[in-house]
């Protein structure tokens, strides 16, 4: 199982580049960002790539509504050329609550849109001229003019529901899961690999990856509170609430909602969710604590790629990133490449 780091903090580019160099020196496979309302994720990946040599740089995810297929193909090709083939592209349908107000985008038939986007990107990368007038997306008479052609881009599809998992298995290079317990990783991974086999693909060539939130601080209770707060924030979104309820966390979420209505802080949310829920959806501890049991649970579930998404504890994001990188490095024996 490969280990990587994910960050989403509002940090200047120069600081981000130092973070990337630190993650590479610690021997992690890749560094991931997401796209919301801050720095452009693709430009940030370019900045990371410029500051490193071997580290893969990924975005999980680019909303499929905010860039045209041709724009994504051009950006991917440019990043692949500039990074020497180290760019990882995660695609996702995001949420109507942000896509409409922020971007004026109409979110409709998300699975169809994702399928059409993957098809268009595949054709462009193969050097073909596009000719798809789909139900949601369209691209005609576009041919990528980049010589020589860069290495193929590894494309992940963010998925939670069964139909999107099937699409990831049949048409993407990997699936990117989120807020998934080891049990959910096993279930989703089995479905993705089965879909790949039905599509005539080698199921071992479709990577199963997931974000796992990791909070590390000298104050263990503060780390638990920060993790619980993030769970509560995502659980407020209907799609994630349903996703967590399907995994059996409905009672824990109900307790957390009641605690929130009563004015509970992060510590109160952690108590309401319970240690079992926190351990199933992430990891929180002090620098001397060993996360090995949680990591082993994901590896035994068949996970190919674990992306430890940093949960900031306190008001120093860089310190939180360093704590997570250091703890995982110390307890998992990552090969240090700093020398």
DSSP lists the bridge partners of residue 133 as: 138
Return d(Cα 208, Cα 215) in angstroms, integer. 23
- Please give the domain boundaries of the chain with CATH numbers for all domains: 2-215+288-332 (3.20.20.30), 219-285 (no CATH)
Neighbours of 80 (CB within 10 A): 22
87 phi/psi in degrees, rounded to 5: -90, 135
pTM of the predicted model as reported, rounded to 2 decimal places: 0.96
Please report the pLDDT score of residue 97 as a whole number: 86
pLDDT tens per residue across all 339 residues of the chain:
999 999 999 999 999 999 999 999 999 999 999 999 999 999 999 999 999 999 999 999 999 999 999 999 999 999 999 999 999 999 999 988 899 999 999 999 999 999 999 999 999 999 999 999 999 999 999 999 999 999 999 999 999 999 999 999 999 999 999 999 999 999 999 999 999 999 999 999 999 999 999 999 999 999 999 999 999 999 999 999 999 999 999 999 999 999 999 999 999 999 999 999 999 999 999 999 999 999 999 999 999 999 999 999 999 999 999 999 999 999 886 555 544
Neighbours of 128 (CB within 10 A): 13
Which helix or strand (DSSP H or E) is residue 5 part of? strand 2-6
3-class secondary-structure state, position 13 = helix
Cα torsion 312, 177, 256, 282: sign: negative
Residues 6+ apart with CB under 8 A from 68: 139
Please report the pLDDT score of residue 339 as a whole number: 41
152 phi/psi in degrees, rounded to 5: -60, 145
Please report the pLDDT score of residue 336 as a whole number: 52
Neighbours of 288 (CB within 10 A): 11
Distance of CA 57 to the CA centre of its chain: 12
Return d(Cα 138, Cα 114) in angstroms, integer. 12
- Distance between terminal CA atoms of the chain? 24
- Work out the angle between the directed axes of helices 220-235 and 266-273 (0-180°, nearest 10): 80
What does the block give as tokens for 15? Answer: 């600081």
Please report the pLDDT score of residue 334 as a whole number: 56
């Amino acid at each position: 199982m490969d280990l990587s780091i994910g960050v989403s903090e509002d940090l200047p580019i120069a600081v981000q580049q130092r973070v990337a160099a630190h993650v590479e020196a610690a021997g992690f496979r890749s560094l991931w960002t997401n796209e919301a309302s801050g720095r452009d994720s693709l430009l940030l990946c370019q900045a990371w790539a410029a500051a490193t040599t071997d580290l893969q740089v990924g975005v999980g995810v680019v909303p499929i509504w905010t860039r045209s297929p041709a724009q994504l193909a051009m950006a991917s090709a440019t990043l692949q050329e500039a990074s020497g083939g180290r760019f990882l592209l995660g695609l996702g349908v995001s949420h109507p609550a942000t896509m409409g107000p922020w971007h004026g985008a109409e979110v409709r038939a998300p699975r169809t849109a994702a399928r059409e986007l993957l098809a268009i990107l595949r054709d462009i990368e193969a050097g073909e001229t596009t000719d798809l007038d789909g139900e949601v997306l369209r691209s005609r008479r576009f041919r990528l003019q980049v010589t020589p052609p860069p290495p193929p881009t590894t494309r992940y599809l963010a998925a939670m529901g069964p139909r999107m998992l099937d699409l990831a298995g049949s048409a993407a290079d990997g699936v990117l899961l989120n807020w998934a317990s080891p049990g959910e990783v096993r279930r989703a991974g089995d479905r993705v690999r089965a879909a790949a086999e039905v599509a005539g693909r080698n199921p071992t060539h479709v990577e199963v990856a997931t974000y796992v939130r990791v909070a590390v601080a000298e104050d263990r209770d503060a780390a638990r509170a920060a993790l619980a707060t993030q769970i509560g924030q995502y659980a407020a979104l209907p799609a994630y609430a349903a996703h967590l309820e399907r995994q059996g966390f409905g009672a824990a979420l109900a307790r957390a909602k009641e605690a929130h209505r009563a004015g509970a802080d992060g510590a109160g949310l952690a108590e309401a969710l319970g240690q079992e829920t926190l351990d199933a959806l992430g990891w929180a501890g002090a620098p001397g604590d060993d996360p090995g049991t949680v990591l082993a649970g994901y590896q035994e579930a068949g996970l190919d790629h674990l992306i430890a998404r940093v949960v900031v504890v306190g008001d120093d994001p860089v310190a939180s990133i360093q704590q997570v990188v250091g703890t995982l490095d110390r307890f998992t024996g990552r090969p240090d490449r700093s020398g």
